[in-house]
Amino acid sequence: MTEDILKILLTKEQLEARVKELGRELTERFAGGEPLFIGVLKGSFIFMADLIRNVKLKCAMDFMAVSSYGRETSTSGAVKINKDLNEDISGRHVIIVEDILDSGVTLNYLCGYLRNRKPASITLVALLDKPARRRAAIRADFIGFEVPDEFVVGYGLDYAERYRNLPFVGILKPEVYAN
């Protein structure tokens, strides 16, 4: 698998350090509360597991599966909810955990969708931010790292359901996805 990686962008150690820091920041922001973490599947699952272990609060978690990419390298623009929440979010502080804020189309849709359920607040946490590709006017409240306009995989991020298990974030060689 690593032979398909052009360059390691973020090492395992860099990821661990920043996730720990994000956990501290969220603990401070929501001190005294019991926020609900919502992971956007599948990409966020590794990040969310590490993040929530670094949050020193009583909290709950749930997951949503939302798609707009399919097997492509850019969004189709059409967002589909494949798995909705099991938890009632009305009056709760919700923290949406996403692997990458890219075009912003999916997160923008998701925030609007969840606002209709009357949460107390919605906070966005993205491991990676790729502002060069933004198509929707949305920003994360907490960002792990800003990344260049390259196709990145690893630490939960995939291409065609592969590479999620890499312990780092790397740039995928263009010849791998250029078919």
Q: Domain extents for the chain?
A: 13-150
pLDDT value, residue 109: 93
Sheet holding 152-153, edge to edge: 5-10, 169-172, 152-153
Q: What is the mean pLDDT of residues 117-145?
A: 96
**C-alpha–C-alpha distance, residues 70 and 89, integer Å:** 28
pLDDT value, residue 77: 66
Q: Which fold has domain 13-150?
A: Rossmann fold (3.40.50)
Q: Which residue has the higher pLDDT, 7 or 71?
A: 7
Q: State the number of CA atoms in the 13 A half-sphere of 127 facing the CB.
A: 31
Q: What is the mean pLDDT of residues 135-158?
A: 96
| 10-18 contacts, C-beta under 8 A, 24 or more apart | 10/145, 10/147, 10/155, 10/168, 10/169, 11/168, 12/167, 12/168, 14/145, 15/50, 15/127, 15/144, 15/155, 15/167, 15/168, 15/169, 16/50, 18/144, 18/145
* Residues taking part in catalysis: 102
Give the number of residues written for the chain. Answer: 179
pLDDT digits over 12-64, tens only? 999 999 999 999 999 999 999 999 999 999 999 999 999 999 999 999 999 99
pLDDT value, residue 74: 56
Q: What is the mean pLDDT of residues 110-114?
A: 95
Please give the distance of CA 133 from its chain centroid, rounded to a whole number. 15
Produce one character per residue of 87-124: b if its CB has 16 or more CB atoms within 10 Å, e if not: eebeebbbbbbbbbbbbbbbbbbbbeebeeeebeebbb
pLDDT digits over 54-64, tens only? 999 999 999 99
pLDDT value, residue 28: 98
pLDDT digits over 64-99, tens only? 998 875 555 555 567 889 999 998 999 999 999 999
pLDDT value, residue 80: 86
Mean residue pLDDT across the chain: 93
pLDDT value, residue 179: 66
